Structures are given as C-alpha cells and as structure tokens.
Homo-oligomer: A and B are copies of this chain.
Amino acid sequence: MGELVFIGLGLFDERDLSWRALDEAHACDVLFAEFYTSALRGTTVERLAGRIGKPIAVLHREDVESGVVFLREAATKRVGFLVPGDPMMATTHVDLRLRAEAAGIRTRIVHGSSIFTAAIGTLGLQAYKFGRTTTIPIPERGFRPTSPLDAIRANRAQGLHTLVLLDLREDGRFLSANEAIRYLLDLGGDTFPPETLVCAVGGAGSPNPVVRADRAARLVDADLGPPLHCLVVPGALHYMERAALLRLAGAPADALPPA
C-alpha cells in the first residue's frame, strides 16, 4: 500500500529542512515538488535534491491540481511531496490530501517553518493580535479585488493587525511589497491613505531579512531587498510593538500613531 507524505521545506534554502524532513524525504520512493504556492529563493532544485540524496521532479500547477500523477504513484509507492513553508497552507494541498485519502492512500504531514509566523516574529509584533490573513494577487486583465482592503478594515476595527501575503507565479513573477503598497494606495481611499503605517518583510528566513516600517507613501518607493516580500498593516500597537517597530524595523517616530 502506498503513502503520500507532505514535506515542508521551510522558508529560504535547503538548510531550512528539518532533520525529520530530510529523513522522510530520503525514505520516499519518489519525490515531487512544487514552487508556485511559494518559493525557496536561496537554493535550487538541484541543491535540494543533492542534500536529500534523491532526484526531485518539479510539478506544474496543473499537475498538482489534477492530482493524477500523485494518485497513480502513491497507490503503490511512498511518495514525498515537497512544498515551500509549512504544508497545507495552500488549499490545493488540502484538496490533494483529501483525494488521496478518498483513494485509500495514507497521508502524513512533516511540518516546516512558515511565513505566517516568521513575518510576525521578524517584526517583533504579537501573534495573538493578528486578525485574518489576506493575499494580494498579481493584477491582470483588470482583476483587482478589494478583498485585501476588506480584511484590513475588518481587522483594524478590532484593533488587529493584518498579514498581507503577496502572490507569485509559476513563471517566477512575484508581487513586490512596493507593488503591493501601490495596489493598496490605488484602491484604498479612506481605508489606506498615504500616511498609513505599513510594515514590510523581505527575505524572511534568509540570513539578512529586510525589515521596515514606515508610512505607505514612503515605503512604496523603498528598497526592500530581494523577494519574497510580505506586508503587515498594523492595528492598535502595544507599547512593546511600538518599541519593536522603532528598533527592529527602523520606523521613523512620525510614522507611528501617538503612544
């Protein structure tokens, strides 16, 4: 009987795999990976395969979504599916897991570090003060949903922060924090005026993450280092969060609301 093991790769490069992830991946008969829900910017598939000691077949979005190759291979083999971050943060992973279980294939998860907590911790903000997370898509053909602003508005009404993840594409395109701030400024009106305090994290999990907090009007043009980026739009700040943004994120005092 086969098995499908979802293995989290963590944030940045092949050194972010846990020992458990390496052992589990090495023990698989077949390894697949996807890099379209997120990406490891600090390594290559070849280096990852070298570290694990097994070849890795990278799948396109349509192959992951159809699930055919997984269900066929995992019917008789132990299949490892390597995904950036912590598995199951993308709906498509859950969908695949459910289809495998429905086909009688056992599934397991090996966890990895994730931007969901890394962004919060890198900024020194408090995890229990975050409301729901939102994502800004890469705008195309006039598709510019207001859902990110809706999330920011609803969270802020409760004094909560919003983690804003930024879309990326299989072809290597990604939305930068600068583009994302521009998106919010263009659509934002009263919800996101130019003086809005925004935090940006670039290269979370890398040896030199870029961490900034400033008014949107200033951060929109700032150099936030190589991708991937994400944003946090703060709600009410605890005094320790204020101190963290001043010290860790280089926030100018005039960008913060009065204490």
Contacts and interface: CB of A to CB of B under 8 A. Distances in A.
Contact of A134 (B23, B128, B248): B128
A28 to B, nearest CB: 15
A111 B205 contact: yes
Interface in A109-158: 109, 111-114, 116-118, 120-122, 124, 126-135, 154, 158
B15 A124 contact: no
A117 B243 contact: no
B240 A111 contact: no
Contacts of A95: 240
Contacts of A122: 88, 109
Nearest to A113: B111
Copies in the complex: 2
A60 interface: no
A15 B8 contact: no
B121 A111 contact: yes
A133 B133 CA distance: 12
B98 A86 contact: no
A11 interface: yes
Contact of A132 (B51, B108, B114, B130): B130
Contact of A240 (B87, B98, B207): B98
Interface of A: 8, 10-11, 13-20, 22-23, 51, 85-89, 91, 94-95, 97-98, 101-102, 108-109, 111-114, 116-118, 120-122, 124, 126-135, 154, 158, 160, 204-205, 207, 240, 243-244, 247-248
23 contacts: A10-B18, A14-B19, A15-B19, A16-B19, A16-B20, A17-B19, A18-B113, A19-B22, A19-B51, A86-B117, A88-B120, A94-B124, A94-B244, A97-B248, A98-B124, A101-B247, A109-B118, A111-B205, A113-B114, A114-B116, A117-B117, A129-B132, A132-B160
